[in-house]
Amino acid sequence: MPPRKINLVAVADRTIANVWDPHIAGDINDSQAKVAKFGEVFDWHAHEQEDEAFLVLRGKIAVDFRDGPVELGEGDFIVVPRGIEHRPRSLTKEPIVLMFEPATTLNTGNAKSDLTVADLKRL
């Protein structure tokens, strides 16, 4: 059976009802590609053991760092190195973002809150 192809933006629009609810798009070795709609503001957090990458598929976001924000638009990509405190947020209505990170990475890193999603759904 050949691998299945999906359009991440179309599937996210149909499947993801809430912001900050990451869904697994695929498994890559010990990592995962996760898709989420971003909301107004997220928790400040860090991933002590994992790097985290963001690729904006639709809309605009900012990733806030303690020394200032980095804005990203469609097609923009950033890697947040492990241990760096950050806080993503939307700059447009429900942007869609693809994240690459180890499968064990918790979305809120070292900050547990109502936004923590431990059991991810698959697209």
> Residue 24's domain is classified under what CATH number?
2.60.120.10
- pTM equals 0.92
Across the chain, what does the average pLDDT equal? 93
Answer yes or no: is pLDDT of 111 > 90.
no
Q: Look at residue 1 in the predicted model and tell me its pLDDT.
A: 87
Q: Which structural domain range is residue 99 located in?
A: 8-117
Q: Which DSSP letter does residue 9 get? A: H
Answer yes or no: is pLDDT of 56 > 80.
yes
Residues of the chain with pLDDT > 90, as a percent, come to: 80
**Residue 78 located in a structural domain:** yes
Residues 6+ positions from 10 with CB-CB distance below 8 Å: none
Could you read off the pLDDT of 77-103 as tens digits, one per residue? 999 999 999 999 999 999 999 999 988
**Residue 86 located in a structural domain:** yes
